[in-house]
A and B are shown apart, each in its own frame.
Chain A
Amino acid sequence: MMNANPNIPDEVRAVAADGTQLRYALMEMAREMDDVIALGRGDPDLDTPPHIVEAAKAAIRDGRANPTPVKGMAALREAIADHMRAVNGLPVGADNVMTTTGGQEGLFLAIQALIDPGDEILVPDPRYSSYDDAIRRAGGCMVSVPTNRVEAFNLEADAVEAAITPASKALLIVTPSNPTAGIVTEDRLRAIADVAIRHNLIVIVDEIYGKIVYEPWRHFSIGSLPGMAERTITLDAFSKTYAMTGWRCGYVAAPADVIEAMARIKQVTTGPVATVSQWAGLAAISGPQDCVSAYLKIYTERRGVLLDGLDRMGFAYGEPRGGLFVWADCSSTGIHATELSYLLLKEARVLIFPGTAFGDAWREYVRITMLEPIDTLREAVERMLPVLDRYRL
């Protein structure tokens, strides 16, 4: 733990004392300020590809917007199952698939279906803390599994096994990870699958960034391994891959009885996905995929600019192998991440999130997104450097 930096004014230290509150405060502040470069939230700045928008518009014009069954349109579920068989290697049919109102709802439904009060869920640390509410509401207990920068936040089977107790029910994996941008590699997933089978764990795997993986790394689906399909809930969505966050359309692959349970829960909690969004999703998953590789190329270039900038700032980071973030250690500056986030917004007009938003121990990390055009990212770096120089120890 760093000592207090005498360059940081007391009022900054006071505002930054509570990481979660600070995250909301930063977003409120940013809303009130002009000319802020927002590198906080995970909303792709790129637009939904035109052929997907056109498919939705055709559905609206043709009056194809009536409610669907709660699991989703049959044609979309078939297309998702085909895709997950071909691309992810999952042994699934349409009975193993349902649509959800975005990826986050998939996690909510899985937790509601599978977790009883007192059940422990193993969660890699740092974590996507927006999932906390769903786990808490089901009475589940989160048990942290450590990951580290040296390993690029790649999850280790030994660390998973060490965290298992008689109350352990499930393991939650997010790969590529939000916030770390690490991936869980195939060799590690094979070892983790052995642990899951040996200890009868359910694996809930969030693969929403699975199509945004940087060379030479490859995404791998744990549900494709022998003996895993019957205990794996795979979450995915159109939101990040196709820049479709506002459509709120995701999907889940799971054993048929889990899908049936999740559908019954969805019926009384949110109802079916908006029909127009399902038509957009169908166009996305069954249409041309050039947009996916084109977007990946854009993100790859942005990632290079951001990493160059972080090198100039003296930040350390695990190699970001996938996703839309960089998870960087700012301890070399002598400024806590909470204070740094506040200072960068106030004085550089750049919004980033402190690591404490993703786990209490991450006071020396920040999450920075690459969801602005490349020139804007360059400008963000140039704005941040003098602020760092002013306050760094």
Chain B
Amino acid sequence: MHTPKQLARPLAQRVAGLNRPPPPSAEPQPIPTNVIDAALAALDRGETHYTDRPGIPEFRAWVADHLRERYNVSVDPAEVTITCGSTEARYVCLTHLVPPGRAVLCPGDESRIRGALHLVGARIVDSIRDDVSLLYITPDIYRETSMELLQRAEDEDWWIVYDLSFAKATAPFHPAQNPKLASRVVTIDTLSERMAGWRLGWMAGSEMALRLRAGKQAMTICTTAVSQWAGLAWARTTTQ
């Protein structure tokens, strides 16, 4: 069963820039016992309803604490939204912060934002141009490069997405440590490296935090309740 021809052609054009989804990894990923226990306990408590739309308060508080302790960055828990993996966080940020036709400056690996920007109707550039609206950086970018671009972001009022997902570098640098930039920086992270099938990530900070939260809510309402409780247990384990 396929759509009538009049509908099929625009459909094919729309997704032409999106790659076919890769097959998932078959490698089993062991989950710590306390995380399993937390998930089972949540289900025993009846945590099967919608959570608070931006996420359970305990998890949002953990994210705010983590950013303060690890990066010396101050974010109110009300500015934190728990998402379905960092994939959702990235898409929500890009679709709300980058107008169609504008550009995202990405000095590093662009593979994680290419598809989302195709949907947004924006493009990726690797050098400074007049139509840049947002700087997308990760901790893997050379510090000197980041500092130069962040100075430009300050001058040009760009939005900044600082994506900690899957980052190998551990230096406690963060662009929101600069008070002149803090209100325009969104931090993204994920627990998918160890809990990929649970679909858990988050986005935090910026003066757009409440609009980003509404954007997530419009797509998926809230993130899976049992995943949030399991993720909270995992997050607390890593910070002990």
Contacts and interface: CB of A to CB of B under 8 A. Distances in A.
Contacts of A245: 48-50, 221
Interface residues of A, number: 65
A130 B91 CA distance: 18
A138 B11 CA distance: 13
Interface string A89-103: 001100010000110
A372 interface: no
Contacts of A108: 218-219
B206 interface: no
A67 B115 CA distance: 20
A96 B218 CA distance: 25
A265 interface: yes
A113 B198 CA distance: 25
A317 to B, nearest CB: 26
Interface stretch (A187-195, A255-263, A307-315, A376-384): A255-263
Nearest to A108: B219
B113 to A, nearest CB: 9
Contact of A271 (B26, B88, B195): B88
Nearest to A261: B15
Interface residues of B, number: 63
B20 interface: yes
B2 interface: yes
B6 A263 contact: no
A70 interface: yes
B178 interface: no
A332 interface: no
Interface in B204-240: 214-215, 218-227
Contacts of B11: 113-114, 257-258, 261
A116 interface: yes
A11 interface: no
29 contacts: A65-B195, A67-B25, A67-B196, A69-B23, A101-B219, A108-B218, A113-B11, A116-B14, A202-B3, A229-B1, A230-B1, A244-B48, A246-B48, A246-B51, A246-B224, A246-B226, A248-B222, A255-B1, A257-B11, A263-B21, A264-B19, A265-B119, A267-B19, A270-B84, A273-B199, A274-B199, A274-B226, A276-B224, A276-B227
User: What 7 A-B pairs have minimum CB-CB distances, sorted nearest first?
Assistant: A268-B115, A246-B225, A133-B218, A275-B197, A264-B18, A67-B24, A48-B48
Interface of B: 1-4, 6-8, 10-12, 14-15, 18-21, 23-31, 36, 39-40, 43, 46-51, 84-85, 87-88, 91, 95, 114-116, 118-119, 195-199, 214-215, 218-227
Interface of A: 41, 43-44, 47-48, 53, 56-57, 60-61, 63, 65-71, 91-92, 96, 101-102, 104-105, 108, 112-114, 116, 130, 133-134, 137, 200, 202, 229-231, 243-248, 255-258, 260-261, 263-265, 267-277
